[in-house]
Structure 1
Amino acid sequence: MEECLPTIAGQPDHGDVWSRGWTAEAGRHVVEHPDFFLSRCMTVGAQVRVDYRLVAAPGFRFIWAMHALVMPDVGTRLDLPAGHPVRAWPSGATAVQRTWPRVTENSWDRLGEDDGSAVFALLPGLDRCAVTAPDGSSLGWRIWAPGQPVSIGLFRNLGGFPDRLSGYRTLGIEPMIGHAHELATARPAETGCVPASGEVEWSVAVTSAATRPTRSPAVGTPAADRE
């Protein structure tokens, strides 16, 4: 799992945090950039919860994603609400509008054999998703980001990246802040924005099928106080 900030696509690809090292500091891990300061605290128990804080100048616009890759077997199921709007980029930078699960010519709710495709799609306004393997094991993701636009991003790569002959097969699950994947071309309403306080806080929970989150954590309070 990696972090994409302040963009996913564009320059630099996957953002500036992707290739920077993290430093341990007072129970958190931090990464610094000339334009912002990002910290995260990870709590591991019945679920994995990651609490984030972004410090930047008020008005700083950004797109963020937790970029987690899984290697899906044939028959892996994506559990997302039918009919939810989807933006997809099947052939470059031009977005197409669809509804779940008919994102491209093939339905995305169950993964088939490799077909040489590699497509990024996002479901704006959606705050959770789950992936279930053929053996019934499942992982779920949920994001809380008060005051910010959230999405679930999906990078469905069935042998299409890095080239159609690679045989490389992955599924990217990306809880996001933002309704677009490229900061440079996004409209202001499609990005996160740092408020007058100079700080943004959000949380992501990753759970197994037996430990779905039942309520939102109080973002900004210590993890121990939320149990």
Structure 2
Amino acid sequence: MREERVQWRGIAALRCSAGGTSVVVVPGRGAKLVSLRDRTGREWLAQGDGRPVLGDPATAFEDAEMCGWDECIPTIDRSRTTTGLIAPDHGDAWNRAWEESPDGALSTHLPSVDATFERGIGLEADGTLTLSYRVKAGPAGADILWAAHPLFLREAGDRIRLDAAKPLWDVSAPTAVPAPGDPGERVNAPMPKGASAKYYTDPEERPRWARIDRRDGASLRLEWEGRAVRTLGVWLDRSRFATEDVVAFEPSTGWYDSVDAASAADRVLRVGPGGTAEWSLVVRLTAS
């Protein structure tokens, strides 16, 4: 894997490349992945509308860049944590500068739960991207609801495939309700411009992958390893919040968006005092 220093919207970034595949990471902006290109040069991540990067920690997620791949931890929705503190919308990490370590890993402190969060990156010549995660709790321990938040571009003719057999749950409203029917048909159903929807796999299932197939033969497959990852969220947006049509595959350590609610339901990653938890994601790109 080759690494080079670049700029993204005037902010220092790191481009990793191997075998024609490349990924660009911005440590100073939540370690966001702002580009993921396969060996043909196809961009898989939403690029947004180029709006300025807002440095105010109080910036709402939907007012930020709405592009790339963010890490949501220890919650997605604004929520009270096990420390009694409030974690902001989409968590502590996405708009915080991360530190670089000599081995190339990036890390940040999560103040709302007094924990440390770390992510390593690896890229193979065959287009396989591996993200390795580790969370270390402080003396009080922590309940952690982490979710990846990659905004993958969605094109006409795409087919979304999920590792899910049971009906999905519609969590777009304040209260989750079952979404009858086949999961694949549900997430591939036509949506009008300006619409948005969020689903989760059934809490009793343990999905392990999600995939986008392009009609020209290209594909992206997201897989995850580790007992910590227990469920999958799927966010579909046709320019209601994002500026492009996107699908976000959100493997998560909790069910569903609020760490407070997930803790109450015992559907969350519990890390004991001073303990650690690890998991990983793998992105496999197939070029057309």
Please indicate the TM-score interval, normalised by the length of the shorter structure.
0.7 to 0.9
Question: Partners of 1:33 and 1:81 in 2: how far apart?
Answer: 31
Q: Tell me which of 202, 205, 212 is aligned to 1:131.
A: 212
Question: Partners of 1:6 and 1:100 in 2: how far apart?
Answer: 31
Which residue is 1:194 aligned to? Answer: 271
Cα displacement (A) at 1:87: 1.9
Q: 1:113 to 1:119 in 2, by over 3 A?
A: closer
Cα displacement (A) at 1:7: 0.4
Which residue is 2:146 aligned to? Answer: 64
Which residue is 1:152 aligned to? Answer: 232
Q: For residues 13-63 of structure 1, give each alpha carbon's deviation from its aligned partner in whole angstroms, at most 9, with x where no partner exists.
A: 111111111111121111113311011110001310011110013641111
Cα displacement (A) at 1:113: 5.5
Identity %: 25
Question: Partners of 2:223 and 2:151 in 1: how far apart?
Answer: 16
Per the normalisation by structure 2, the TM-score is: 0.63
Cα displacement (A) at 1:161: 2.6
Question: Partners of 2:197 and 2:131 in 1: how far apart?
Answer: 27
User: After the TM superposition, which of the residue ranges 32-41 and 110-119 deviates more from structure 2?
Assistant: 110-119
Question: Partners of 2:168 and 2:71 in 1: how far apart?
Answer: 22
Gaps of at least 5 residues in structure 2 are 1-68, 80-87
Check the 8 A contact 1:88/1:121 in 2, yes or no.
Answer: yes
Letter in 2 for 1:89: V
Alignment of 1:78-93 (within 5 A): 78-81=160-163, 83-90=165-172, 92-93=173-174
Which SS does the other structure have where 2:266 is aligned?
Answer: helix
Gaps of at least 5 residues in structure 1 are 211-227
Q: 1:208 to 1:38 in 2, by over 3 A?
A: same
Q: Tell me which of 115, 122, 130 is aligned to 1:43.
A: 122
Q: 1:126 to 1:81 in 2, by over 3 A?
A: closer
Alignment of 1:12-23 (within 5 A): 12-23=88-99
Letter in 2 for 1:62: I
Alignment of 1:154-193 (within 5 A): 154-161=234-241, 168-186=244-262, 187-193=264-270
Q: 1:64 to 1:100 in 2, by over 3 A?
A: farther
Q: 1:61 to 1:73 in 2, by over 3 A?
A: same
Cα displacement (A) at 1:141: 0.8
Q: For residues 113-162 of structure 1, give each alpha carbon's deviation from its aligned partner in whole angstroms, at most 9, with x where no partner exists.
A: 5343211111142121111122221111111122x351121110123336
- Matched pairs, number: 201
Alignment of 1:99-118 (within 5 A): 101=182, 107-110=185-188, 112=190, 114-118=192-196
Q: Which has the higher contact order (CA 8 A, sep 6+)?
A: 1
Cα displacement (A) at 1:178: 1.3
Check the 8 A contact 1:37/1:56 in 2, yes or no.
Answer: yes
Question: Partners of 2:98 and 2:163 in 1: how far apart?
Answer: 35
Q: For residues 57-80 of structure 1, give each alpha carbon's deviation from its aligned partner in whole angstroms, at most 9, with x where no partner exists.
A: 364111101110012112211112
Question: Partners of 2:136 and 2:209 in 1: how far apart?
Answer: 25
Q: 1:75 to 1:109 in 2, by over 3 A?
A: farther
